[in-house]
């Protein structure tokens, strides 16, 4: 099984938590400098080829099962982590970036965009403080940590005012430099990255699996499509479900990527018209295996998500 590889010409580099694990393994195992930035670029590929050659593997620069286990000493990445990498790349935040109140979410931060408005940012930070007391204060200072912990527990009006107060006008997409740095420092802590992954799994992966089960979907690409829908769209609501049913009834016998494309189109048609084009670009990219999202081209199989039945305990039975 190939896990991932450096991008094909013209496509975006694979990135995310699994790449960080690989880069840490390379840093431990080779003398070649490797930036632990979560991006599978030329430097990572070169270091990987040197390690493969030194350890009796074909220096392909691709990560297969033996290479992964030899470098990370971990089991293969679960399907959740592979789907998370794709959606996180679409979202564009990584673990560290925080956006201001440009979209009335008050503030958005982390691997799949945890928002201050909807409570998932609160879930992440409360888990951090419960599991690692004092870590936030140690990382960003007691004053900022105390302010942040107070704000996440406040009412919606107070959270909105605070989000606006640290957002940089006129567009409000960026936030003040001191808070931008603070959220970057928090996101760079491995303990906090782990908790971000956990909350993404608890909130969105479980929703995706529930939606998959309704449609008997079992491929890796199905999982990626429904997970991205859970994150971007909140899952399959009644309107989207009706559109999916209608398209399936009008196209009996459609299978494979064509079936996924019908579902992608239904999800986009059932979304807010303002965002429908963006929704379709993301869902069609996963359904068809390639596409352009926010100006970057993706080749989905390079991210270790394939159009085959998933053999993964994460999936519903």
pLDDT digits (tens, 9 = 90+) for 153-198: 999 999 999 999 999 999 999 999 999 999 999 999 999 999 999 9
Residue 314 has pLDDT above 70, yes or no: no
64-73 pLDDT, tens digit per residue, is 999 999 999 9
Instruction: Clarify whether residues 65 and 140 are in a common domain.
Output: no
> pLDDT tens digits, residue range 134-152?
999 999 999 999 999 999 9
Residues 21 and 65 in one domain: yes
pLDDT at 310 over 90: no
Instruction: Compute the distance between CA of residue 143 and CA of residue 149 in angstroms, rounded to an integer.
Output: 10
- In this prediction, residue 8 has a pLDDT band, given cuts at 50, 70 and 90, of confident
The residues near 191 (Cβ < 8 Å, ≥ 6 apart) are 128, 131, 132, 135
pTM of the model: 0.94
In a domain, residue 84? The reply is: no
Residue 9 pLDDT grade (very low, low, confident, very high; cuts 50, 70, 90): confident
pLDDT of residue 235: 97
Query: How many structural domains is the chain composed of?
Result: 3
Q: What is the mean pLDDT of residues 43-53?
A: 94
Q: Please give the average per-residue pLDDT across 295-306, as a whole number.
A: 95
Residue 34 lies in a domain: yes
Mean pLDDT of the chain, nearest integer:
94
Q: Which of 163, 187, 211 is the last residue of a domain?
A: 187
Res. 7 pLDDT band, cuts 50 70 90: low
Residue 85 lies in a domain: no
Residues 128 and 166 in one domain: yes
Residue 211 lies in a domain: yes
Task: Count the alpha carbons within 13 Å of 199 in the hemisphere toward its beta carbon.
Answer: 23
Query: What distance in Å separates the CA atoms of residue 262 and residue 30, rounded to the nearest whole number?
Result: 46
Same domain, 11 and 48: yes
Residue that is last in its domain, among 187, 211, 228 = 187
Average the pLDDT over 85-102 and give the result.
96
Q: What is the DSSP string of the chain?
A: -EEEESPPTTSPPPBSHHHHHHHHHHHHH-SS----SSB--HHHHHHHHHHHHHTTS---SEEEHHHHHHHH-SPPPPHHHHHHHHHHHHHT-TTT-EE-SSSSSS-EETTTTEETTTSHHHHHHHHHHHHSTTHHHHHH-HHHHHHHHHHTTS-HHHHHHHHHHHBPTTT--SB-HHHHHHHHHHHT-HHHHHHHHHHHIIIIIHHHHHHHHHHT--BHHHHHHHHHHHHHH-S--HHHHHHHHHHHHHSTT--HHHHHHHHHHHHHHTS-GGGHHHHHHHHHHHHHSEEEETTEEEEGGGGT--SSB---TTS--
Helix 276-288, helix 256-269: angle, nearest 10 = 170
- Are 113 and 70 found together in one domain? no
Q: Residue 309 falls within a domain, yes or no?
A: no
Q: Are 236 and 211 in contact (CB under 8 A)?
A: yes
> What's the pLDDT score for residue 218?
86
Confirm whether 88 is domain-assigned: no
Phi, psi (degrees; rounded to nearest 5) at 156: -60, -40
Let me know if residue 248 belongs to a domain. yes
Q: How confident is the model at residue 2 (pLDDT cuts 50, 70, 90)?
A: low
Judgement on whether residues 165 and 233 belong to the same structural domain of the protein: no
**pLDDT value of residue 32:** 83
Domain membership of residue 311 (yes or no) is: no
CATH number for the domain harbouring residue 15: 1.10.101.10
Cβ-in-10-Å burial (0-12, 13-18, 19+) of 143 comes to: exposed
Last residue of a domain, one of 187, 209, 243: 187
- CA 60, CA 97: separation in Å to the nearest integer? 33
CB-based contacts of 40, cutoff 8 Å, min separation 6: 4, 5, 6, 7, 13, 14, 15, 19, 22
Q: What is the pLDDT of residues 222-272, one digit of tens each?
A: 999 999 999 999 999 999 999 999 999 999 999 999 999 999 999 999 999
- Domain that residue 164 falls in: 97-187
Instruction: Identify the bridge partners of residue 292 per DSSP, sorted by sequence position.
Output: 297
173 plus 226 within the same structural domain: no
Please write the tens of the pLDDT for every residue from 273-284. Answer: 999 999 999 999
Confidence at residue 316, expressed as pLDDT on a 0 to 100 scale:
59
């Amino acid at each position: 099984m190939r896990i991932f590889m450096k991008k094909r010409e013209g496509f975006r580099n694979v990135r995310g938590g699994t790449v960080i694990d690989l880069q840490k393994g390379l840093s431990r195992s080779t003398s070649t400098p490797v930036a632990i930035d979560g991006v599978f670029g030329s430097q990572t590929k070169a270091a990987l080829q040197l390690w493969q050659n030194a350890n009796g593997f074909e220096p392909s620069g691709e990560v297969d099962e033996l290479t992964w286990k030899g470098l990370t000493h971990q089991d293969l990445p679960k399907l959740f982590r592979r789907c998370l990498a794709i959606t996180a790349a679409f979202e564009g935040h990584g673990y560290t970036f925080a956006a201001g109140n440009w979209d009335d979410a008050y503030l958005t931060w982390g691997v799949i965009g945890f928002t201050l408005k909807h409570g998932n940012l609160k879930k992440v930070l409360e888990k951090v403080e419960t599991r690692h007391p004092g870590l936030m204060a140690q990382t960003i200072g007691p004053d900022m940590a105390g302010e942040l912990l107070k704000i996440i527990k406040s009412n919606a009006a107070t959270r909105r005012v605070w989000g606006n107060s640290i957002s940089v006008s006129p567009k409000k997409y960026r936030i003040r430099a001191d808070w931008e740095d603070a959220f970057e420092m928090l996101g760079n802590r491995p303990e906090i990255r782990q908790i971000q992954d956990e909350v993404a799994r608890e909130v969105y992966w479980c929703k995706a699996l529930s939606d998959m089960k309704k449609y008997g979907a079992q491929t890796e690409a199905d999982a990626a499509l429904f997970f991205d829908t859970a994150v971007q769209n909140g899952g399959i609501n009644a309107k989207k479900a009706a559109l999916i049913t209608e398209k399936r009834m009008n196209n009996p016998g459609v299978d494979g990527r064509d079936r996924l494309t019908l579902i992608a189109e239904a999800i986009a048609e059932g979304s807010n018209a303002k965002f429908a084009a963006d929704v379709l670009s993301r869902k069609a990219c996963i359904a068809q295996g390639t596409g352009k999202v926010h100006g970057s081209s993706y080749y989905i199989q390079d991210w270790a998500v394939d159009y085959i039945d998933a053999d993964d305990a994460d999936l519903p039975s």
